[in-house]
Chains A and B, each alone.
Chain A
């Protein structure tokens, strides 16, 4: 997997907020079909890193390459259209709309159909069935007609990922897809996400705090600390790294 050309890589990426060096020279790469866990203590710069890649913030220095092209300056919308999608740590859904509509809007947007105003949305049978298929692959087919706000937290987290997935991305950045749910539900969520993204050969980066999840589902682990990459390697290598243990796992084990 690592022998493959990376689909996305960053070179010495930096993002400062005044004195705070949130992302401080990160060089990172990810290949198609790879599931990378990005771990690190709170404030290590993980979410900022995702925000810079997706164009929410412009980097202060460094480059982002996607499919061999420099996309550092590309707009948010352009990056989405190119195939870089994300989910959110705090679920971002259309709360009043059904699960089906949450996914359907993403499908319509990907197909460039959201400007059609002269035909009822229900007449787009292909869009509807694709949205239902996506819901099914996340185990949400029964909930298609339920408003997002009425779903339990675990399913809201899944739906958030399903919406990103509906954009058919080549790179998927998942910001804590299992935060705020019980540890049993964490596994249910990962059992849904990981096979689905592997199936589609999507390069997936998952920000995660739960070490069971990190070691259980990722191909590679990247450890961020103080805006820098502290260590990187296969899950078992990271588990055995003394430096990581001291700076991260020790803290996490103590906390949980």
Chain B
């Protein structure tokens, strides 16, 4: 049994490494003319959304809490990077990232403290309301934030090296910043994976599945939810910080509840019951949105239709659909040769196999 579990883990880690390797080769594909710079640019947005989606999913997937307010932490991260130079001057990006992490930690501590008192729809509404507070502040403090015009964000020195001074912006974004982003994505992926697979992650699953029982084995449910909220908020803030530099411009739109909805969408689309769901969801979301926007100004209509189809046909997201297909093929090849009359236990075993897949 332990070898089975560790083998699964090893396969997963190999999968992640291959995925990261492919991403690392993208700039070479661009240079070879196989894909365009524009596609690489969209991939960068996808990676940023993936970090936010993974962070968001600590709450939805692992704690059973639907936050409709993740735009707040994203915006706090983005605006910290955009506004801090006014006060501390232009510095290396790392300093700004640390500030963004601190700012989003403070905001998520405060908001989380209030929100974890509630669950279900009440939690969702509370997080939504709190986000609107951030949105309103950004809009009203226009002498700092530029109001609805937003703030321009310059390219930043990375690791203390002022690439921004000797590179054009596209060159900067598609080379050094790309790898920088990829590095941060890899680190985030690793940390979030560790969090959800740790004893703490199991405790979160316990609070998700049965709050009463979790309490009666001694888990302090609210406190753990608060921790999860903060971790989730901080990584979402990190995504916001990266977004500020990539986008070159931040606006109140990033604090809007519609933007919160986009983060929810990414997780639901990919499959929130799967760790990797939000990554897949982000890539598909960014690309579909881009091409839908090219077709029509009613692009949200297209995304909405996708969501409706998804919830009706594949409630466990794209990952869920892929997984059940894979399981069916695997189960088919295993069961067909013998074709025994299934005993009741065999039936439950098969059923559990198919359903059990939703977990991992």
Contact = CB atoms under 8 A, between A and B. Distances in A.
Given A122-B9, A150-B348, A150-B352, A115 B213 contact: no
Interface string A108-130: 11100111111111101101100
Interface string B12-55: 00000000000000000000000000000000000000000000
A108 B200 CA distance: 9
Interface string A20-60: 00000000000000000000000000000000001000000
A77 B221 CA distance: 11
Q: In this complex, which of B1, B5, B198 has the most chain A Cβ atoms within 10 angstroms of its Cβ? A: B198
B213 A119 contact: no
Q: In this complex, which of B197, B199, B351, B356 has the most chain A Cβ atoms within 10 angstroms of its Cβ? A: B199
**Interface of chain B: mostly helix, strand, loop or mixed:** helix
Q: In this complex, which of B6, B215, B217, B355 has the most chain A Cβ atoms within 10 angstroms of its Cβ? A: B217
A95 B215 CA distance: 15
Given A96-B209, A163-B217, A105 B352 contact: no
A95 B356 CA distance: 11
Interface string B238-272: 00000000000000000000000000000000000
A179 B231 CA distance: 41
Contacts of A127: 199
Interface string A81-114: 1000110100011111100010011101110011
B205 interface: yes
Interface residues of B, number: 39
A116 B209 CA distance: 20
B2 A122 contact: yes
A181 to B, nearest CB: 16
Interface stretch (A11-19, A141-149, A230-238): A141-149
A96 B217 contact: no
Contact of A80 (B9, B209, B218): B218
Given A95-B209, A101-B205, A105-B206, A124 B199 contact: yes
Interface string B212-225: 11111111100010
Nearest to A151: B348
A171 B205 CA distance: 27
B206 A97 contact: yes
Contact of B218 (A109, A121, A122): A109
A182 to B, nearest CB: 14
A226 B226 CA distance: 42
6 contacts: A81-B218, A93-B209, A101-B202, A105-B205, A117-B231, A118-B194
